[in-house]
A and B are shown apart, each in its own frame.
Chain A
């Protein structure tokens, strides 16, 4: 067995930092875990959605009478039944549950049927007559920029299909490029890609005799779904309970409220019956919400002495038919370039366009992935032109800890330098880069990502995460959290927090999560916020619980209780612009110390100085005496951060992760096939709460990045999805996965719970340019279009050969 703790400091933790199988793993592999579609409600109706076969059309009429007459059909809904549009962002609520009058993408719902059986529902769909008037559609960003009298979203009052334009500028570009030793510029093009999670969307709604509904749904965002549903259906939030069962992967594809959820709830309310719906894989592709198709031009200035002197970026992102997370994507396409290196002069201009295709939204790494490819490839080019080693150069340029970026992101902990150094050593980089035989190459790239957004997307003054904790009279601990385990293991993380602080075995901690009737609000699993924010909240709840048990123990032992210091910032807490941390008002703050002179271990609570102890159970019993219930809550609030300019909030995070990849490839110059032989990864996650889980995320990000790099692309034919299946949408098989070597990398973030930062998304972005840079090392071509298909490799090789011929002196 490999020791996964090797390489990390031993802090004497009992369960933190140990490789822990996820607490629901056994249930999943035994087939006992209940995913949304596995739940058995009483006598549910089955819902099927009628979807438009046309990407752009007006609906002149829709006749559902024949469907309603079919025996077993209980109800039919159309666009007329839903007045309110919705969207995950308050500033972008543009999606109807069912298309009203206008169809904007192929696959858009135009009607829905609820029937006693699936067969009857399918039969009913065939009986619905829709009178479509086909209209001319818009299918790419460039066309979408052109003026039109029929924009997809006339409510925006624009003359074209521009959804959002973001321009931000810092420093002085001209000066920056003038200072550079070399300026490199290239155009890049990225296909839209899909998350490919294993579990298709599914929702079941249970209704009681008072009209209250319980919505079981495969969602990453129970809280946002809860609020959106109340608004769309115009019923009180309190009459809706959202529950997330076991979930088979999200990656951003389940992080919005969805039409099918609204449809299901409405059927339940109108018919007074339980209902269920599940998607086919094809419907998942129509839903999409994948990574935006992107066209970008980036110019990068580099100086041997100063590093990157300037970046200038012009980008079009193709958002499809609706907004989803798109406005955030638009910002992230620029702001996330502010790390992992300093960029003193910086400008980006990103336009998001509407087109008649399934909508794009958030996908692992969000808007940071595509520009990361561009900047890491350009950096590699710049190093090659000035004759500097690209790995050593990056090593020097990575942000030092406690730095403000040019756009005023507060970077605190950075531990990547050691990880990259070790990766360079392990891969024998300096002996191999530029020196391998033709066809073999080694490349490097780095990345940077947020550990959750410091500002909520729905403006409010609530904490970013709240966790409740109780202890039963038998000592069992229950943790209640809105945090949404989507397979990444947040339930396990919450349990580890409680187990460590209270000195309990993991099995003694029960998790109740993602149930809006029972658990306090957590904003959801997106932007890699959960470990940092819900983890801190759980830790804080456990610390308060520990305090109650210590006090009870002192009463039993007849000794004075400890005097607790007022919560204060950790010693190395990095203030931004003199702002005081927000630790007043009784909040514990982030990652506080809990050294209270007691040790919780082996069922005992012991006062260290006097060496006297009581049992944990005795303390629990004593603590229960007063109120009959032993309950605490803990919260996390992000500190006040950010500059004072418009859009300063995008990309703000209490902490950032840093990643480096060194990748080894073999390129077949006759077929153009790229084989990724080995990926060496150093990911600064602060401190690995669970190295088994962190390593799993690294392997998963490698696989997903490999897919985007080599073979994944959504193919549209005038708006029609050509490859809505796992046969034709090419996700790499197990055979394509390279050998993986993980370099333990840490930085002990002072605000992350037990020092932890994110390890879910940031890892993905840099592997893609690392592959591209390795391909350059192998065969001397710069690929600027994803996926890096074999035919594109051959085209680039032919072009390169032609250029090389031109440079040779003519022979007589």
Chain B
């Protein structure tokens, strides 16, 4: 069995890549995928803590995170499709109507 900190290190690396992608990319769909990447990294940390501390709480919380992610994707993609149907460009930099 690999030691716990390796799992946490992998989880942190995945989270970092997701966060950097979230900041760098402009396509809203890819931004969403980077959010999923971050949530997955957190799930990995939860599962690893759960395994190495002999507790089920982490697994249960990872399950709840999966639920929240599913709900978030449903609403987010509905909004992206609406924005697309309104004829706007698929670009998070162009969607600044709320700023004005």
Are A and B genuine complex partners?
Answer: no
